[in-house]
Structure 1
Amino acid sequence: MDKSAAQNSAAFLYPPIDPFDQRMLEVGDGHTIYVEQCGNPAGIPVVVLHGGPGGGCSPAMRRYFDPAQYRVILFDQRGCGRSRPHANVDANTTWHLIRDIELIRTTLDIPRWIVFGGSWGATLALAYAQTHPDRAAYLVLRGVFMGTQTELDWFYGGGAGRFFPDLWARFVELIPEAERTDLVTAYHNRLFSGDMLAENRHARRWCNWENALASIETRSPGGESPSDYARAFARLENHYFANGCFFEQDGFLQSNAHTLADVPGTIVQGRYDMICPPKTAWDLSMVWPRGTLTLVPQAGHALSEPGISAELVRVTNTLRSEAVALGL
């Protein structure tokens, strides 16, 4: 996103804040995850689930909530950000992450909370809420991804590439033509080759393809992601996608949407999201009885899109007055 668009987005957000609590939490299987709390220690609890998988949380994510009213919990999922071991995919599945979220909740002595997540964070929020519907008081989802093969085919099978052939050509050029029918597998073989230079090179190219399409404002490859970040992001994301996000069947989340019958929520979706097209959010809203969909015009996928930021802050501001009714 260009500088002016970023400034426009920031205009809707609360001022930057520092955490009042930071800790490393041992979650088992050799993993330790970074957890922080911000805002009001006695406020409305909300857990923020970052994207990727492998994206890590950022200070900007604290700013979507009124710090006087919310107790904001952020964490880096296994293998990324400040969590350790870095870029590691052992014992790293959707179900491990759901277990981690529950461990954070019980460790912090929170009975129920709002679950806030975008892109892969929305996937994880849905999977968590379907597993623990009594703990999810409300879902705030952005840029919905349901972990289906159709969605992966769109982004890694050439669908989005039809709109951005120049950027697509850059994404596929590192892969021999004979392997381009399955780019997730082709990249997997290189991201887990054991050759650090090759892993970093392919990781940066994997990240650049996604980053270039995230915002409606920017349609160029942009700068290179730092190697450490790119390697964790690409390895974890590819690991999850190569394994169908570890769901029992394709379309798992949609087929289990009935478990959300008593869980209210809001979906905020960019009309021109090229990473997670709006059809997925629309389909979810059709089978989620208490889920409402807002399509944001002139917005793409990124959390930092001005229209997306404004709508998400509007939602969290509205929820301040509904906390008692939600049992928070």
Structure 2
Amino acid sequence: MQLFPAISPYKTEMFDVSDGHQLYLEQTGNPDGIPILFLHGGPGAGISATYRQFFDPEHYRIIGFDQRGCGKSLPFGSLEHNTSQLLVQDVLAIQSHLKIGKWVLFGGSWGSTLALLVAIEQPQNIIGLILRGIFLAREEDYSWYLDKKGGAAQLFPEFYNEFLKPIKSQLTGQSIADAYYDIFTSNNEVRKMAAIKAWFLWEARISRLHIQINEEQLIPDVHRAISLALLECHYIKHQCFIPENHILNNTVKIKDLPINIIHGRYDTVCKVESAYSLHQALDNSKLSIIPEAGHSAGEKNTTKALCRATRDMLKFCKEQS
């Protein structure tokens, strides 16, 4: 089961939210279909055209947007007024703006975190969730991704050493996120761009189980690399602006929602334990651990599982109607 055919949006707009931010918002597929919101990862990755192909355009009203500070949203790269709480409020504002009563949330990586935060905030407005590459924003999740003794560093020590090079002189008494943040918010543009490249490359190198592309192609879009590095560091430095274990402590609020959890067995960015722990906390959830897959949604078996999940959600919606 491969991706659905490529399709262009039937409507695009810039949507004003709070604090001077404008979000790029687009809709694709069937305007009268089941509303489904795509929540991109990062934070800071933005949307790309391929996300629309996870959904049957004849039956879904596909909604996507660039979160604050990335993609086509403005101001680009802004860290001010950029928190999880504000992103949740943006999602709710989009729902109100589009006059949607209930919708499906589809999110991967950081998008899974945001989807869970939105669902916990307003479960009554959610039909169901499709989540990939679960990130629960706990201290152990940050450590897995960034720390020397974390899983990613242990599996990819040579790439991790490259990741540390821009900040080696600053690590005494500082966390990795703090050291990078100091560079990202400095006025030294040369040093800043080198750090952005190193941060982006670290994630790109460990995101797939099999990387068969030239390393020079890992950063095809400098614009995207800038926003992803800046915003990802910003959110990790501030523990994603949520209390420790916030999501697992609030799963009771979403226990009745149908939730399809998909996670690569060899995901090095977000550890598979996160998906398992979330599933254990939600009796109404389904967990698919995908063999021979890492973190990326673009890996063959993960793509198949995601397309299958959107078809299953359609069947559920028809049965409920």
TM-score by length of 2: 0.95
Tell whether the 8 Å contact from 1:23 to 1:35 is kept in structure 2 after alignment.
yes
**Cα distance in structure 2, aligned partners of 1:178 and 1:43:** 52
Tell whether the 8 Å contact from 1:200 to 1:227 is kept in structure 2 after alignment.
no
Which amino acid in structure 2 is aligned with residue 278 of structure 1?
A: V
**Cα distance in structure 2, aligned partners of 1:146 and 1:93:** 16
Tell whether the 8 Å contact from 1:56 to 1:77 is kept in structure 2 after alignment.
yes
- Kindly tell me the number of residue pairs found equivalent between the two proteins: 316
Which amino acid in structure 2 is aligned with residue 222 of structure 1?
A: E
2:79 to 89, 94, 99: 89
What is the match of residue 254 of structure 2? 260
**Cα distance in structure 2, aligned partners of 1:326 and 1:282:** 27
Higher helix share: 2
What is the match of residue 202 of structure 2? 209
What is the match of residue 171 of structure 2? 179
For structure 2, the residue ranges without an aligned partner over 5 or more in a row are none
CA drift at 1:83:
0.1
Which amino acid in structure 2 is aligned with residue 217 of structure 1?
A: H
2:102 to 83, 106, 112: 112
Change in Cα spacing, 1:90 to 1:201, as seen in structure 2 (3 Å) is same
What SS does the aligned partner of 1:174 have?
helix
Tell whether the 8 Å contact from 2:21 to 2:73 is kept in structure 1 after alignment.
yes
**Cα distance in structure 2, aligned partners of 1:266 and 1:260:** 13
**Cα distance in structure 1, aligned partners of 2:108 and 2:290:** 14
Tell whether the 8 Å contact from 1:89 to 1:239 is kept in structure 2 after alignment.
yes
What is the match of residue 44 of structure 1? 34
Give the alignment's Cα RMSD to 1 decimal. 1.5
- Structure 1 runs, 4 residues or longer, greater than 3 Å off: 324-327
Q: CA offsets, 1:90-120, max 9 Å, x none?
A: 1110111111111111111110000000000
CA drift at 1:323:
1.1
1:71 to 61, 67, 72: 61
| Identity fraction in percent | 34
CA drift at 1:197:
2.3
In the alignment, is residue 123 of structure 1 matched against residue 113 of structure 2? Answer: yes
1:234 to 229, 232, 254: 229
Tell whether the 8 Å contact from 1:212 to 1:220 is kept in structure 2 after alignment.
no
TM-score by length of 1: 0.93
Which amino acid in structure 1 is aligned with residue 68 of structure 2?
A: R
Tell whether the 8 Å contact from 2:166 to 2:194 is kept in structure 1 after alignment.
no
What is the match of residue 167 of structure 1? 159
In the alignment, is residue 59 of structure 1 matched against residue 49 of structure 2? Answer: yes
Q: CA offsets, 1:233-272, max 9 Å, x none?
A: 111111111001000x211111111111221110001000
**Cα distance in structure 1, aligned partners of 2:155 and 2:318:** 46
CA drift at 1:324:
3.7
**Cα distance in structure 2, aligned partners of 1:326 and 1:135:** 15
What is the match of residue 264 of structure 2? 270
**Cα distance in structure 1, aligned partners of 2:8 and 2:199:** 32
Change in Cα spacing, 1:54 to 1:178, as seen in structure 2 (3 Å) is closer
CA drift at 1:220:
8.4
Tell whether the 8 Å contact from 1:139 to 1:265 is kept in structure 2 after alignment.
yes
In the alignment, is residue 138 of structure 1 matched against residue 128 of structure 2? Answer: yes
**Cα distance in structure 2, aligned partners of 1:256 and 1:321:** 28
What SS does the aligned partner of 2:3 have?
coil
